[in-house]
Amino acid sequence: MELEKLIKTIEPEDAAARVAAHAHWNSCAKPLGGLGLLETALEDIAALTGSADIDIRERAVLVLCADNGVVCQGVTQSPSSVTAIVTENLAARRTSVCHMARTADCRVVPVDMGVLDFPGVPGVLSHRVGNGTADIAVGPAMTRAQAEQAVLTGIELVREQMEQGVKLLATGEMGIGNTTPSSAVASVLLERPVEEMTGRGAGLSNEGLTRKIAVIEQALACNQPDRNDILDVLSKVGGFDIAGMCGVFLGGALYRVPVLIDGFISAVAALCALRLCPAAGKAMLASHVSAEPAGHLVLEALGKQPLITAGMHLGEGTGAVAAMPLLDMACAVYHGCYTFDDGGIEAYQPLGASQ
């Protein structure tokens, strides 16, 4: 299996580079750990890349677009046709993430992973795994081969971006109904009740939420995904976008490109990557905690703390892109702040250190 071979080449993080980045932070004339998670994030990047000389100026957000057959079960407010409309607007640079990315000096890269009946438009990369997934309420979303293809596509996307000089990636997605397979996957992997892992998505009514929960329970009963086999879970109750983002996180670890987790859907994909390869966690940075009910639970399972708590649940990679300026400001201090020696100041000592 090609995927299995690639995963075996992912190495652990570089502990020496982490130590060097931490020492550099401690030499800056400021309270030790004063920038909190921003300091940790840069140390994580150093440990991933193997260098304490951190550069994240070239960046892109990969927005993986795909449709979900389960929409026919009435789990969303909008029809599947909206996925194609938003995908076209991503290419036209009109959507929310496009405006945010412009401010963050970030390229937007829409990718068609399986938008229903999508003819293709300039500005959208075509990596179609299928013409939307099947309805998980009555059978598997896709074949196992398709699930592996989607994951491998995500890995390949990272390689392509790395070769173009990208130093920081964000994960984004667009697909009507994709919180339904995300909740299904999360319920399986975290072994928690469906109702605990399921939210209103883009704004379901109480009746709609009840129907969504019932559909996911039906999908799990029908497909019986094996939580110990990630490709089985993805193929039975996942989506092309989720599987593709899983590959992006694996690719980040393989090619040493840090990848920002976006919201709930992206975090579920990250959890799939972590279960496939624990070393993949070294490439993951948590941007924000989603307003979806299970958002914080998935981040806890990943062992990641979010940089932002803003109640966001828009998708498209907006939360991940929102974190980029924070990382830029951290880099500005990391590279530019004067040191204790420069200022003639006695260096701070860690609390509890011997005098």
pLDDT digits (tens, 9 = 90+) for 223-272: 999 999 999 999 999 999 999 999 999 999 999 999 999 999 999 999 99
- Model confidence pLDDT, tens digit, residues 191-224: 999 999 998 877 788 888 899 999 999 999 999 9
CATH architecture of 2-53+334-343: Orthogonal Bundle (1.10)
3-state secondary structure at position 297? helix
Q: For the chain, what are the domain ranges?
A: 2-53+334-343, 59-328
Which residue in 43, 88, 148, 316 is the catalytic one? 316
Q: Which two tokens stand for residue 108?
A: 């937007």
Write out the two tokens for 93: 């640079």
Query: If you classify domain 59-328 with CATH, what class do you get?
Result: alpha beta
Torsion over CA: 243, 246, 252, 253 (sign)? negative
pLDDT at 351 over 70: no
pLDDT in tens, 77-116: 899 999 999 999 999 999 999 999 999 999 999 999 999 9
At 207 the pLDDT is 87
User: What are the strands, taking DSSP E only, across 214-339?
Assistant: 259-261, 284-286
pLDDT number for residue 355:
41
Say if residue 328's pLDDT is above 70: yes
Which of 118, 140, 128, 123 shows the shortest CA–CA distance to 185? 140
Say if residue 329's pLDDT is above 70: yes
pLDDT in tens, 34-70: 999 999 999 999 999 999 999 999 999 999 999 999 9
What is the phi/psi pair of residue 330, to 5°? Answer: -60, -45
Sheet order of strands, 59-66 included: 125-126, 107-114, 59-66, 168-174, 259-261, 284-286
Q: Any catalytic annotation for residue 4?
A: no
In angstroms, the CA 205 to CA 234 distance is 27
Q: Give the span between the Cα atoms of 123 and 125, in whole angstroms.
A: 7
Q: Kindly list the distances between the CA atom of residue 98 and the CA atoms of 18, 112, 158, 257, 289, in Å, as whole numbers in the listed order.
A: 33, 17, 20, 21, 21
